[in-house]
Amino acid sequence: MLFNASRLAIAAAILCTSTLAASAQNYSPENPECIAPANPGGGWDFTCRQVGKSLQDQGLLDSTMQVVNLAGGGGGVAFAEVVNKRGDDNDLIVAASSATATRLAQGAYPGNTMDQVRWLASIGADYGVIAVAADSEIADLPQLLEIIKTDPTAISLAGGSGVGGWDHLKVLIAAREFGVQDVRTVKYIAFDGGGEAVTQLLAGSVQAFTGDLSEARGFVESGDIRVIAVLAPERLGGEFAEMPTAREQGIDAIGANWRGFYAPGGMSDAAYDAWVAKIADLYASDAWKEVMEANGLAPLDLQGAAFEEFVSSSVNQIQQISREIGIIK
């Protein structure tokens, strides 16, 4: 997904910070909880645990945030839990991303829509990666896609979102750019979270991994996997500078996975404003900038109404892409 910087800047201006600050002072969560809609080790798990720790470290939460892993349905189990059973829980937030928007766009959460929850804030954008095991004979992205183009059955790719989800779509976008005529022939296997998908790659069950940089980072550092393409406009900085982009390999595929949170639809305005303010304060801190740099997160600073508008736009864009490649009608 491409991000339009000017559109984001305009959207961000929607937020009325003075009203938000006044309302936020009236509420403080007693038992803060974050649901990560996947097994430990993936991007949603990272979002909950890192933000929870950072909020407490910055004094923005008085008590430790409990992290609950609730995997299943590409986030659908967690979404249904929040909508059907915890719709007025003021202490609860849920990790979300482009994968969440993708599933909502494609109607993959049966009976559920984005309007049933309240969208809080973003904490950054996580660029997509395509990786192979460290000892793989596949050297780069063009070689991988050439194998798929010649014999789609020869390569299975694993990701942490469902079939037709964001991890899947990223590969299809790259394949289409490379010239694969029918991207529906690309073999994609869905797992509950990026951590499990990488485990299957290391076990030899699949030949490549599609996910996000935050999911792959630890496995790159341990020497288990090798990133053959980052789906960013240009090379990232710091420790990620050695990772080649798809674009520099002649494949103009860009995929940025936004990361953020939603809350129960019945959350009070005071609680909602308080959570939005806490996440906004965290995002503005130097400590969070260090976390973003260490984990390859790109800037994406949206809160409250601006974030809700952005998610709505994302859902609409993903619906268009999904129709183009035949995921939905």
- pLDDT for 7: 47
Domain of 136 in residue numbering reads as 127-249
Q: Which of the 8 DSSP states describes residue 133?
A: E
pLDDT at 177: 93
Residue 142: inside a domain, yes or no? Answer: yes
Diameter of the chain measured on Cα atoms: 61
Q: pLDDT tens across 262-279, in order? A: 999 999 999 999 999 999
**Does residue 166 fall inside a structural domain?**
yes
Lowest mean pLDDT across 182-191, 226-235, 313-322: 313-322
Q: Could you give the CA distance from residue 173 to residue 197 in angstroms, rounded to a whole number? A: 20
Q: pTM score, two decimals? A: 0.75
Q: Which residue, 196, 165, 235, is CA-closest to 1?
A: 165
Closest Cα to residue 41, out of 255, 251, 176, 192? 192
220 shares a domain with 78:
no
Over residues 168-181, the mean pLDDT reads 92
pLDDT at residue 18 in the model = 43
- For the chain, how many structural domains are there in total? 2
CA separation (Å) from 232 to 85, 227, 236?
Answer: 38, 13, 8
Q: Are residues 267 and 290 in the same domain?
A: yes
**CATH code for the domain in which residue 149 is found:** 3.40.190.10
Output the pLDDT for position 19.
Answer: 45
Can you give the pLDDT at residue 41? Answer: 86
State both tokens at 92: 């609860």
Q: Count of CB atoms within 10 A of residue 152's CB? A: 17
Same domain, 242 and 303: no
Question: Do 102 and 174 sit in the same domain of this protein?
Answer: no
**Confidence label for 13 from pLDDT (cuts 50, 70 and 90):** very low
Question: Residue 196: what pLDDT?
Answer: 92
Nearest alpha-carbon partner for 174 in 225, 247, 106: 247
Helix axes of 269-284 and 17-24: crossing angle, nearest 10 degrees? 110
The answer to whether residue 314 sits within a structural domain is yes
With 70 as the cut, is the pLDDT of residue 17 above it? no
Based on the fold, state whether residues 319 and 233 are members of the same structural domain. Answer: no
> What percent of the chain lies above the pLDDT cut of 70?
92
Domain termination site, one of 198, 217, 249: 249
Q: How far apart are the C-alpha atoms of 65 and 261, rounded to whole Å?
A: 14
pLDDT score for 26: 66
Together in a domain, 103 and 28: yes
Q: What is the pLDDT of residue 25?
A: 58
Which of 226 and 329 is assigned the larger pLDDT?
Answer: 226
pLDDT value at residue 311: 95
Q: What is the pLDDT of residue 145?
A: 98
For residues 99 and 25, membership in a common domain is answered with: yes
Q: What is the mean pLDDT of residues 288-294?
A: 92
CA angle 288, 213, 296 (to 5 degrees): 35
Domain annotation covers residue 329: no
Q: What pLDDT digit, counting tens, does each position of 105-158 carry?
A: 999 999 999 999 999 999 999 899 999 999 999 999 999 999 999 999 999 999
Choose between 129 and 13: higher pLDDT: 129
Instruction: For residues 112 and 104, give the distance between their C-alpha atoms in angstroms, rounded to a whole number.
Output: 8
Task: Say what the pLDDT of residue 318 is.
Answer: 87
Domain limit, last residue, from 249, 270, 295: 249
Average pLDDT over residues 5-12: 44
Separation of alpha carbons 214 and 201, rounded Å: 17
pLDDT at 296: 83
Give the model confidence (pLDDT) of 56-104 as tens digits.
Answer: 999 999 999 999 999 999 899 999 999 999 999 999 999 999 989 999 9
> Last residue of some domain: 249, 281, 297?
249
The phi-psi region of residue 264 (left if phi > 0; otherwise alpha if psi is between -120 and 50; otherwise beta) is beta
Strand (E) or helix (H) holding 246: none
For residue 5, the model assigns a pLDDT of 42
Same domain, 206 and 154: yes
Same domain, yes or no, for 13 and 121? yes
Q: Do 233 and 273 share a domain, yes or no? A: no
Taking only the tens place, the pLDDT of each residue in 275-289 is 999 999 999 999 999
Question: Per DSSP, which regions of the chain are E strands?
Answer: 33-36, 66-69, 92-97, 117-133, 156-159, 187-190, 208-212, 225-230, 256-264, 297-298
Given a cut of 80, whether residue 1 has pLDDT beyond it is no
263 and 122 both lie in a single domain: yes
Is the domain of 139 the same as that of 48?
Answer: no
CA distance 170 to 287: 30
- What CATH number should be reported for the domain holding residue 294? 3.40.190.150
